[in-house]
Amino acid sequence: MTSVLPGAGTLDVEVTNVSTHDFWLMLGAEELFVPFSQFPWFKDAPIAKLTNVVRPQPHHLYWPDLDVDLAVESIRHPGKFPLVARSST
């Protein structure tokens, strides 16, 4: 469920390029590189779901079709936000 209310404004965000290894986001005038190796939730996502992204706040991105929330800072500086995953088994 998206946290953006109908009719509520969002900031500019657009997926501009997708390859087999990564994708690029435009946040206003800033372009960010998003490698699948550091953001594995996007690797097998269909293009339509990957490009459905909203920016409800300057520091927050949300992909409602994938239920993925990310801080913009984690894309700018992924080394400061190490990926930690736990097995469900």
Residue 84 is predicted with a pLDDT of: 58
Average the pLDDT over 64-85 and give the result.
86
Task: Enter the pTM of the model.
Answer: 0.78
Q: Which residues contact 70 (CB under 8 A, 6 or more apart)?
A: 39, 60, 61, 62
Q: How much of the chain, in percent, has pLDDT values that exceed 70? A: 81
Residue 85 is predicted with a pLDDT of: 47
Q: Which residues contact 80 (CB under 8 A, 6 or more apart)?
A: 73, 74
Q: What is the mean pLDDT of the chain?
A: 84
| pLDDT tens, residue by residue, 15-54 | 999 999 999 999 989 999 999 999 999 999 999 999 999 9
CA–CA separation, 5 and 27 (whole Å): 20
Domain positions in the chain are: 14-80
